[in-house]
Amino acid sequence: MYRRVKIPSKLSGSRGFTSFPSRLHNTKSHKKTFVALSTAVAAGCLTYFTSKRVILNDSPAPQIVSKATSTSSNNADPDALHTLIWGSNASKTLVPGGSDAESIRRPLVASWLDNVALRDLVFHRDHAACVDARGDVYQWGKGFQKDHSKPILTLKGENIVQLQLSENRVYALSSSGKIYASDLSNLSKQQLPVTATDTNSSWWSTSWITGKQASSSGFVEVSPREGLSWGEKFVSISAGNDHLLALTSAGRAFAHPISKNANSYGQLGFRKFVVPDLSSPGSNAPKPVELIPKSVADPYAKASPFKRESSSSIVQEDYKLDDTSVKNCPTVFEIPSLRDVKISSLKAGGRSSFALTDSGRVLGWGANEYGQIGLGPNVTVESITVPTEVILWRSLASGTQTKCLDVAAGGDLTCFTVERIKSNPSSKIFEVLTCGNGQWGGLGNNVFTNAQGTPARARNVSGLMEFSDTRKSIEPIVPESVSVSPTGHVLLTLDTSAGGAAGRDLLAWGKNYDSELGNGKKASLASPTTMSTPEGERFMLQKKKAKEVRDLQGNVWKRGVTVEQKAVTGYCNSAVFWKVS
C-alpha cells in the first residue's frame, strides 16, 4: 500500500528551501523551471522502472504451484486427480513411509494417490484404510504393519463400498449388503491379499456349529441374528469406539458389540444377546451374554460416600465376552426398541448412537455427560440407555416446521443439519445445530464450552441465503455434508453452486493443536471459517468427469467417470479425496 506524502504548507522557515516570490513578472520563469524539473523526474523514473522489476500494489499475487504445498495444483494439469492431506502424521497415516514430519500444517498433495479416485477413506489413531475404485481394501499405518512403507491390499474381489475402523478392527460393507470384519493383529500376519468369501459363512451355518470358523484370510462375515426379508440388505455402517451400527434397506437398525465396553453407556440399545460357544466344539447351543451399562450396574458410582450403597449389594454381571477376536461374536443384532420405527440414517458417535427417522425426527442414546445427545439443559444424566427423541425446535416461533436432514457425530460432539420452514410468510432456511463437548470450539458458536446439552446454532453456516442466477431469486444455501472428527474438529461443505460459484465452499473449525484445520496455525477456532488456498483463494471442492481413474495398483480402472471431492476428518488430521460417484 502506498502512503500519500503530505507536503508542508510553510517552507520559508525551513533550512535548505527558498521562498518563491509571488510577483507576476516571474511566472514565466517559474513555469520553465517546473517543466525542466518535471522532465528530469520523469526521465529518472523511466530509467528506474526499465532497469528494475517493479511490483505494484494492485498487481495480482504470483501463482506458485508446488506439489508439496499447493491446493490448486490441478491448474498445472486440469485432468489430474490429487488427494489433499493435512494434520497429524505421527502414525504415518497421511504419508505412509514418507515424510518424518509429525504434522503437516497446510494441505499437501499425497503423491501416492495421484490420479486415484476412491470409494471411501477412513483414518483412525494409528492406522488407516481406503477402498479404491475397484472395491478393494488397502490398509497402512504404524498400528497395522510397521515394516511396510506403503498401503497393503488386504481384501479384494468383494466390491466394498464403505469402511469403518475401530481401535483394532476394520469393518467393510460390500455392494451386495454383506459386512466383513477382521482383527488387525490377525490380518497383519496373513499372506495378503485375500478374498473374504472363500472361507467365511454365516454364524448359524455348519462352521458355527463345529467351531471351525478360523480362516486363512482373517476376515469373517458379520451376519444378522434376525433374518432379513427378501431383497433386504445392509446399506450403511457406522462405528464408535466400542460399538458398530448397521442399517438395512428396509430401515431396520442393528448393532454389534466390538468390545466388552460396547454397552458401558447403553449405546448398543440392548443388554442381552448370544454368541457362539467356541469353547465347546460340536455344541449348537449359543452362549448368552449380558452387557450392563455402568449407570445401571452401579447407579451410585459418582455419588457422595454417605449416599453410596455398599458394594456387596451390587450384583456385577460376569460378562464372559471374549472380545479378542471378531470370530467370537460375528453377529449384528436388531435393536428391539426400534423395530417398529423406519430409520433413514444411523450414526455412531464415540460412545453414543443416533437414529434419523424418515419423517425427520432424531432419536439418541448412549453417553451424555457432555450433553452430546442434545436433550436439553434439564437432562444431566451421564447415559441414556433407551432411544430418546431429540427436540430440535425449542425457542422457535409458532408455525415453524423443523425437519432434521442429517446427523454427524464424532467423539463427544454432535451436529444436526436441519431444515426450517416458516408458513407465514413462506420461507425456508437451513441450520447446523451442535451439542456436546466444545472445549476446543467444536460447537461453532464462537464459545469454548465443554458441555452443551441444548443444540446451539453454529455461526457462519446457518440461515445463509444467496441469489440464484438460474432462478433469478434468493435461495437458501444448503450445508451439503458434515464430518466430525473423534478429536474435536469439524469440516463442513456448503453447496454454493446455485449462486454461480465454481464449486462448494469448505469450512473448518474446532481443535487445531496438530494443524488439522489446515490454516498453518495451531490455534483452535470457535466459529466456522472458510478455508483458503496458499494463493489466498477460496477452497472450493470440485465435481468433474475424470479423463481416467486408476486403482492403487496404478492400473486404469475406467475413463470418463464422474468424480467429486469429499472432505473427511480423522484423529487430529483431515483429507480431501476424489470420490467415485
Q: What's the CATH code of the domain at 309?
A: 2.130.10.30
What average pLDDT does range 159-179 have in this prediction?
A: 96
Range of the domain at 389: 73-580
In a domain, 348, yes or no: yes
User: 54 vs 368, which has greater pLDDT?
Assistant: 368
In a domain, 35, yes or no: no
| Strands annotated E in 31-136 | 83-88, 103-110, 118-123, 128-132
Q: Percent of the chain scored above 90 by pLDDT?
A: 59
User: 539 vs 65, which has greater pLDDT?
Assistant: 539
**In this model, does residue 156 exceed pLDDT 80?**
yes
**In this model, does residue 76 exceed pLDDT 60?**
no
pLDDT digits 0-9 by tens, 296-317: 888 877 777 666 665 443 334 4
User: 189 vs 129, which has greater pLDDT?
Assistant: 129
In a domain, 532, yes or no: yes
What average pLDDT does range 217-240 have in this prediction?
A: 92
Give the CA distances from residue 180 to residues 160, 215, 225, 239, 358, in Å, rounded to whole numbers and listed in that order: 9, 13, 15, 13, 27
pLDDT at 71: 42
Q: Is the dihedral of CA 115, 121, 125, 126 positive or negative?
A: negative
What is the tally of helices (H) and strands (E) in the chain? 4, 34
In a domain, 56, yes or no: no
User: 78 vs 327, which has greater pLDDT?
Assistant: 327
In a domain, 415, yes or no: yes
In a domain, 489, yes or no: yes
Highest mean pLDDT among 2-16, 341-355, 469-483: 341-355
Binned at pLDDT 50, 70 and 90, residue 195 comes out as low
Grid cell digits, residue 224: 444378522
What average pLDDT does range 501-509 have in this prediction?
A: 88
pLDDT at 321: 80
pLDDT at 306: 64
In a domain, 44, yes or no: no
pLDDT at 202: 39
pLDDT at 362: 97
**In this model, does residue 413 exceed pLDDT 80?**
yes
Alpha-carbon dihedral angle through residues 299, 305, 307, 309, given to the nearest 10 degrees: 60
Place of cell 452443551: 452
**Mean pLDDT of the residues in the chain:** 81
In a domain, 208, yes or no: yes
Count structural domains, the chain.
1
Least confident stretch, 263-272, 274-283, 414-423, 551-560: 274-283
Beta bridge partners of 484: 490
What average pLDDT does range 422-440 have in this prediction?
A: 89
Strand order, beta sheet including 449-457: 400-410, 413-423, 426-438, 449-457
Contact predicate 539/530, CB 8 Å: yes
**In this model, does residue 520 exceed pLDDT 50?**
yes
Beta bridge partners of 208: none
From the CA atom positions of the chain, what is the Rg in Å? 30
**In this model, does residue 343 exceed pLDDT 60?**
yes
Q: Report DSSP letters for 513-524, one per residue.
A: TTSTTSSS----
User: 509 vs 399, which has greater pLDDT?
Assistant: 509
pLDDT at 286: 83
Least confident stretch, 147-156, 250-259, 566-575: 147-156
